[in-house]
Amino acid sequence: MTFKHCLAPLFLAVTTLLAQAAPVSTAPTFADDPSAVEFARDLERRQGFNADELIGLFAQAHPNATVLKLIKPPASPLQRSWQRYRPRFLNDRRIDRGVIFWQENAGQLAKAQALYGVPAEIIVAIIGVETEYGRNMGGFSVFEALSTLAFDYPPRAEFFRTELEQFLLLARENKLDPLAVKGSFAGAIGIPQFMPGSQRRYAVDFDGDQHIDLGNSVDDAIGSVAHFLEQHGWLAGQPVAVPASVAGTADEALIEAGVRPSLKVADLAKNGIKANTDPEATVALIDLVSPGEKTEYWLGFENFYVITRYNRSSFYAMSVFQLGEEIRRRLCAEQTATTENREIYCHA
């Protein structure tokens, strides 16, 4: 027997002992959660999934404490502050990269604007705010994040169970490995950060390759953002928002009327709220508050409300609007009086 063969039994014995001594993970998976198992059985009944296969997926996913920490409101919430929020999205880096993104994708942006009526600057700005033009799409397992929120976050469990179902349908339809898809801590996916349900309802194959890929196709992302806004009521050629001046402090009831336009400009004027716009227009009064500072007021039109369907925050919608305007102005400034692109970038 050679020296090598003499070592073989010893090596086998040592590795066996090590394997036996190695700690076995006892961390629970979602396969241990009766709610997740029942969810799998329900999807088998309603959607034709194999419940055992779904439970096998759940056996590879653990409750994610980071997801729960990020989704929960802070114990001591900060006061809303437009001055603190705005610089996160309106800064030179995001504007400069937005200019480049528009220039590199001018053809598809023009196509989306023509097809859906949504201005290129709004499409660019949403992608800029969401992922900084595809640079920050999230590194969480979408399956694990949605499972955590569906089964371990009671305040919004119903919503996230619906999104988990939509995600599994999306994965099946597109032959994706559910465990391999990455996204945000809330389960949003790809360059435009669509939730799975939104992707199934509103995403479009804009590059014509017979496949929707929001993670890798900028064209699909552009078309899908425009289609989403169009489907939520975007009014082509109509304004988004205009600044307003307020004599003193605005009546709180006017703010509480919400971001969906319901107030006549002429009626607001009688309350000391004025803006350079059609007196017969219907608007919402938007307050951009900052602690210790004078509140900034705007009048939001229907298109402002439509942007809030993407993210239900007036701060978000205003950031999108203003970022788009800044990018467009930067591009306009680069055009000469004889450049045909002035018509694209320099409209009022």
Query: Any idea which residues carry the catalytic annotation?
Result: 130
- Whether residue 113 contacts residue 119, with contact meaning beta carbons closer than 8 Å, is answered with yes
CA distance 70 to 63: 13
Q: Which single residue is written with the structure tokens 């999807």?
A: 43
Q: Which of 138, 150, 228 is CA-nearest to residue 185?
A: 138
Which residues does 151 contact at the CB level (< 8 Å), separation at least 6?
A: 30, 33, 35, 36, 39, 63, 157, 161
Phi, psi of 323 (to 5 degrees): -65, -45
Question: What is each CA distance from 325 to 94, 120, 155, 296, in whole angstroms?
Answer: 12, 10, 37, 18
d(CA 305, CA 135): 27
3-state secondary structure of 13: helix
Which residue shows structure tokens 């779904």?
54
Residue 221, H or E segment: helix 218-231
Cα separation of the two ends of the chain: 90
DSSP string for residues in 53-78: HHHHHHTT----HHHHHHHSPPSSPP
Tokens representing residue 162 in the block: 């619906």
